[in-house]
Amino acid sequence: MLTERHLQIFVALAEEQHFGDAARVVGITQPPLSQGLRRLEALIGAKLFERGAGRVELTPAGVALLPYARRALTSLEDFHQAAVARDPEGPEIRLGLAPEVPPSAGAAVAKAAGEVIPGSRVTVVSAPTTALVNQVTTGRLTLAVVQHPTVLDGLEAGPVSLLPTWVLVPTDGRVAGDVVALRELQGLPVAVRSRGEAPAARDLFLDTLALHRPDGGTVVVTDERAGLAMAAAGQAIVVTADPSLNAPGVRRHQLAGDPLPLRLRLVWSRTRTPFLRPNDVIDRLTEALAS
């Protein structure tokens, strides 16, 4: 049976032209995305993409069917929105949070969303910034807290909130004092997440890091918990906006001048979420994010 996920996979692959990038946009891993494409092609009896060297291109059949897939997704979302608007339990606020958002900040935004929209029900998911932007664009999420900068694809966005960050350094005596400069942090790589999760924000982070700390390099980790474990093992340095992230064998230091703040902002679709139109709603949510 043809499903909404099949259409999302088709459209994402057509736009990204890369299996890995399309998987991040849809919010799944690459194997189920490939399986979904094969199932879709079997259902419609046509080959949609030519594959090669990791990238894909639409076949003539894919070009012909893509507009229909986009219209079908729009119609499905219109149906979802109409159902929500008539839900006697009140509107559902589907909130997305980038993994970098500190738990306390994410909880504050969720709490504020439930308070400023009377009768609402709040559900929360976590996903990389690129996936969150796509899910807000397609209506699968009501709004999201994403890293800045990022390509917004026509979405509305609130002001940028700058959250201070700290460095977590192994307690091996290499760094002294509560406040340190980036140039003092030598000898270990800085733990970073994959660039594909938030390309523009990650590039800004890396450029700033290289400016203040030209030597030392980086190491890619899956999340902050993995980075924290590497710091505890004496293998990496972690930059975090989470004031609660800590572990034995790791010491927290304030960064002099705060050169690497976490830049976050709320994004939403104005056409799909009319109840977010009052400016005071966004102001309240932004205030909660920065608190």
pLDDT tens digits, the chain, 291 residues: what are they? 888 889 989 998 998 888 888 887 776 778 888 899 999 999 999 999 998 766 889 999 999 999 999 999 888 777 766 665 555 566 788 999 999 999 999 999 999 988 887 778 899 999 999 999 988 988 889 899 999 999 887 788 989 999 999 999 999 867 778 899 988 888 899 999 999 899 999 999 999 999 988 888 999 999 999 999 999 999 999 999 999 999 999 999 999 999 999 999 999 886 666 556 556 777 888 899 887
Residues 6+ apart with CB under 8 A from 144: 95, 96, 97, 98, 132, 133, 135, 136, 266, 267, 268
Contact assessment for residue 161 and residue 289, using Cβ atoms and an 8 Å cutoff: yes
Beta carbons within 10 angstroms of residue 115's beta carbon: 13
What's residue 277's pLDDT?
53
CA geometry: angle 127, 196, 31, nearest 5 deg: 75
Q: Is the pTM of this model over 0.75?
A: no
What's residue 274's pLDDT?
57
**Beta partners for residue 167, in sequence order:** 239, 253
**Beta partners for residue 251, in sequence order:** 169
Residues 6+ apart with CB under 8 A from 67: none
CA-closest candidate to residue 165, choices 119, 105, 83:
105
d(CA 291, CA 278): 21
The 3-state DSSP class for residue 214 equals: coil
Contact assessment for residue 209 and residue 238, using Cβ atoms and an 8 Å cutoff: no
Name residue 202's amino acid: R
Q: How many residues comprise the chain?
A: 291
